[in-house]
Amino acid sequence: MNHPQIQFREHHHAEIDLDQLQNLFEIAAFWAKGRTIKDLSIAIANSKPVISVWDDTKLIGFARATSDGIYRATIWDVVIHPDYQGTGLGSKLVETVLSHPQMQVERVYLMTTYQQKFYEKIGFQTNNTTTMVLYNQANLSNMTTAEVQLSESLGA
Per-residue pLDDT of the chain in tens (156 residues, 90 and over written 9): 456 689 999 987 667 899 999 999 999 999 898 899 999 999 999 999 999 999 999 999 999 999 999 999 999 999 999 999 999 999 999 999 999 999 999 999 999 888 999 999 999 998 887 777 778 776 555 555 555 555 565 555
pLDDT of residue 11: 82
pLDDT of residue 130: 78
Q: Cα separation of 75 and 47, whole Å? A: 9
- Count CB neighbours of 67 within 10 A: 20
Domains of the chain by range and CATH? 6-127 (3.40.630.30)
Q: Helix, strand or coil for residue 8?
A: strand
Q: Helix, strand or coil for residue 129?
A: coil
Q: CB-side exposure of 64: number of CA atoms within 13 Å?
A: 17
Q: What one-character DSSP code corresponds to residue 103?
A: G
Q: Cα separation of 122 and 110, whole Å? A: 12
Tell me the one-letter amino acid at 106. E
Q: What is the pTM of this model?
A: 0.81
Q: Cα separation of 102 and 114, whole Å? A: 26
pLDDT of residue 27: 95
pLDDT of residue 132: 76
DSSP string, 27-92: HH-GGGTT--HHHHHHHHHT-S-EEEEEETTEEEEEEEEEE-SSSEEEEEEEEE-GGGTTSSHHHH
pLDDT of residue 16: 86
